[in-house]
Amino acid sequence: MTVHFIGIGGAGMSGIARILLARGERVTGSDARESAAVLALRALGAEVHVGHDPAHLPEPPATVVVSTAIRESNPELAAARERGLTVEHRSTALAALTRGRRLAAVTGTAGKTSTTSMLTVALQHCGLDPSFAIGGDLATSGSGAHEGTGDLFVVEADESDASFLAYSPEVAIVTNIEADHLDHYGSPAAYVAAFDEFLGRIAPGGTLVTCVDDPGAAALADTARGRGIGVRTYGRAEGTDARLVAFRPDGAGGRIVLSLDGAEHRLRLPVPGEHMALNALAALLAGVAFGAPAEGLLEGLAGFDGVRRRFEFRGRAAGVAVYDDYAHHPTKVAAQLRAARDVAGAGRVVVAFQPHLYSRTREFAREFGAALGLADEVVVLDVYGAREDPEPGVSGALVAENVPLPPEHVRFVPRWAEVPAVVAGMARSGDLVITMGAGDVTVLAPEILLELSR
């Protein structure tokens, strides 16, 4: 049977396709444009078309895999339904691949990709070879998915559309719970309720790992205990199973003192930010829950060199360091700007932020503005709509208006072509520039570096 992916170049979709190819399945797909992911899949044996056309669909029997980003009006999806082909959501397809494996599912409003990646790298260092599917590419391997030889499987479980409810993990990590994705859930209460439902997906005898510094995650831990689910906690407070005792910025990383079940350890983490130190504690507890040795896991975390688009260094020109990051929720933006401040030292932080989704921009414009106020200079792009249609009156200007900095330090630049020159004009030697957002803002870093070099 053939598995056909509509939008195969996406991070989640390409990862599933990669695992299926490793298992010897026939994989076809389509995407709107050529990309590095598309080229890699072709090299592995996938048949990938550019553009969406019913002619690309395979003959039955076949399964068509889609993500939430694919609209019902997509010509391939419409034709697949008309022909009676099996259509599955991406999460359902990935959940099927995890059957028979000991599964770790990492979810939460923020920190999923980094925590999933840390757990994967730490387990690998312990001599294990877990399968994994991550919503970003590991910096070392350049891939976000792998078919391992062991019985462990680590997945980033996306809560944005409730697709994390497809998994049945032995170990579940919930990093935090804050209102998000209201375009799908409709209300913060419905979003929180989905995590309560997720508890019911944890396998009997399984473990919930969660951060009690976050009120939403702490409440979830209480609910889990009430249901008889094993809970392991981490955070800054005393009484947690893994406690962040101390954190000190150290160049582009951080030095950590932590306590694991009462034993003190020291760790130099190669990625910056106290939030990353907390993610490392989550990965440590999950690895221990799987039976891996703590010392080996800590050694693996010490060698973790990041994920692409998560505070990724893109280059330096005219004495200015340029980074790129995927942050697209106020909490994520604030965390990464604090990390940027640590790395910048005496230099200033200049951020170019692209809001993601009209609904999120409308709901959280004030919170985004407050978070961006942690920078010294702010450029706000227009909204990257992704799967949404424009909304009257909703633009990047809403965010820029809420940044609590003097007006001369905040610019709304709706014309894409003007952004690199504007950002480069703001920066001076010793500064740190970071492009930020879940859209195509990532392609601006080379253009900014070029403008700086001029």
Q: Domain with 410 in it: what CATH number?
A: 3.90.190.20
Is residue 201 situated within a structural domain? Answer: yes
Assess if residue 33 is contained within a domain.
yes
* 76 located within any domain: yes
Query: 44: domain CATH number?
Result: 3.40.50.720
Residue 323 and residue 294 in one domain: no
Whether residue 359 is found in the same domain as residue 424 = yes
- Are 245 and 104 part of one and the same domain? yes
CATH number for the domain that contains residue 157: 3.40.1190.10
Are 212 and 361 members of one domain?
A: no
Using CA atoms, how far residue 217 sits from 55, 109, 199, 259, 334, in Å, is: 47, 10, 12, 20, 19
Nearest by Cα to 297 from 275, 320, 267? 267
> In terms of domains, do 245 and 339 share one?
no
pLDDT digits (tens, 9 = 90+) for 60-89: 889 999 988 888 999 999 999 999 999 999
104 and 57 in a common domain: no
Q: Which residue has the tokens 């029997």?
A: 61
| Residues identified as active-site | 112-113, 156
Decide if 405 is inside a domain. yes
Whether residues 152 and 205 fall in one domain: yes
Q: For 290-388, where are the alpha helices, taking DSSP H only?
A: 294-302, 330-344, 358-372
Residues 321 and 202 in one domain: no
Show the domain range for 218: 99-302
Same domain, 420 and 296: no
The answer to whether position 307 is within a domain reads no
DSSP readout, 235-291?
Answer: ESSTT-SEEEEEEEEETTEEEEEEEETTEEEEEEESS--HHHHHHHHHHHHHHHHTT
- pLDDT under 50: residue ranges of the chain: none
Regarding whether 154 and 84 lie in a shared domain, the answer is no
Among candidate residues 56, 90, 124, the one where a domain is terminated: 90
Domain boundary residue among 90, 110, 142?
90
- Domain boundary, last residue among 258, 281, 302: 302
DSSP per-residue string spanning 17-85: HHHHHHTT-EEEEEESS--HHHHHHHHHT-EEEES--GGGSPPSSEEEEE-TTS-TT-HHHHHHHHTT-
pLDDT of residue 140: 66
410 belongs to a structural domain:
yes
Q: For residue 111, is it within any domain?
A: yes
- The answer to whether position 403 is within a domain reads yes
Q: What are 133-154's pLDDT values in tens digits?
A: 998 777 666 678 999 998 999 9
Structural domains counted in the chain: 3
State the Cα angle at 193 between 187 and 196, rounded to 5°.
Answer: 160
Residues 321 and 177 in one domain: no
Pair 18, 133 in one domain:
no
The token duo for 106 is 């990492």
